[in-house]
Amino acid sequence: MVNYRFLGSSGLKITELAYGNWLTHASQIENEQATACVHAALDVGITSFDTADVYANTAAETVLGEALSGQRRESLEIFTKVYWPTGPHGANDSGLSRKHIMESINGSLRRLQTEYVDLYQAHRYDVATPLEETMTAFADIVHQGKAHYIGVSEWTAPQIRAGAALARELKIPFVSSQPQYSMVWRVIEAEVVPACVDEGISQIVWSPLAQGILTGKYLPGQPPPAGSRATDGHGGASSIRSMLNDDVLTRVQNLRPIADELDLSLAQLALAWVLQHDNVAAAIIGASRPEQIHENVTATGVTIPVELMARIDDVLDTAIVRDPALTAPGAPRAR
């Protein structure tokens, strides 16, 4: 069964594996299969579920809400996010303006079939909206009881510090950062993690398997397996393309002896590696089949010895991306 960890300096506990439905629900898999995956997550003790209004243009929230219907709400931790365009992509259908945030939370609650979310996160930083406007809107949502905690995704260290300062003034719990993080993508380590430690904020990391690269199913010199994310035309292929090169894929295959020493699969090794880090509260996992959930949960509770952590670094070497400037490259740059 999955263990719980505190989220930031708050009293909220979340499962160290959270189930996420980016690129799967209402997109890659049918609703019946999505529901089976959610129920598999519940069966192994996962109670934390991550989604966003932009996933499948709001449809992923609907699927998750339906899959969780009938569960005891107090026993779940539901996260969603706001920022990216939704609906018909009108002038106010994106960003972190008060108008968009207030309308988006109501839509998310309706689709998720709940009166509140446990965590509401800014999906990117919005340079086109004053930060005070954004944080005040979040504060009103918390005070209205529509969200218990707030957080952000892919914000830089200075942005996180500025948001945390305003959250203190507004007396609302700013507790999470949701960045990409894995054995090969470590851009948060130099700046974001130290800022979060200072501010009492935890990481809820996405793509701990590097879009499937770290599972070892992609082999150097060979085409991607049929049905894999690299062959998906709904956004999966574009998200993984930059890592599909023979150097990275060869280095991943060279991790197999380390995984074997720990009696783990490569996917389990990658998840266990992420969970070794103290500032990580949870790693988000997705699934297109229930059995993937059962495999991934084996990574919890694993301790990787220090010497093997060092060997992982040696094996991956130049495949590791560390540049902190790569945080949030997709956010707009000007008003």
Kindly report the backbone phi and psi dihedral angles of residue 330, in degrees, each rounded to the nearest multiple of 5, phi listed first: -90, -5
DSSP 271: H
d(CA 179, CA 189) in angstroms, rounded, equals 11
Q: For residue 175, give the amino acid letter.
A: V
DSSP labels, 145-176: TSEEEEEESS--HHHHHHHHHHHHHHT--EEE
Which of 290, 284, 294 has its CA nearest to residue 38?
Answer: 290
Annotated active-site residue 55? The verdict is: yes
- Can you read off the two tokens belonging to residue 175? 């507790």
Beta-strand ranges (E) seen in 206-298 are: 280-285
Say which of 19, 55, 181, 218 is annotated catalytic: 55
d(CA 237, CA 224) in angstroms, rounded, equals 10
**Residue 130 CB neighbours (<10 A):** 13
Kindly report the backbone phi and psi dihedral angles of residue 276, in degrees, each rounded to the nearest multiple of 5, phi listed first: -70, -20
C-beta separation of 204 from 18 below 8 A: yes
C-beta separation of 180 from 209 below 8 A: no
Catalytic residue IDs: 55
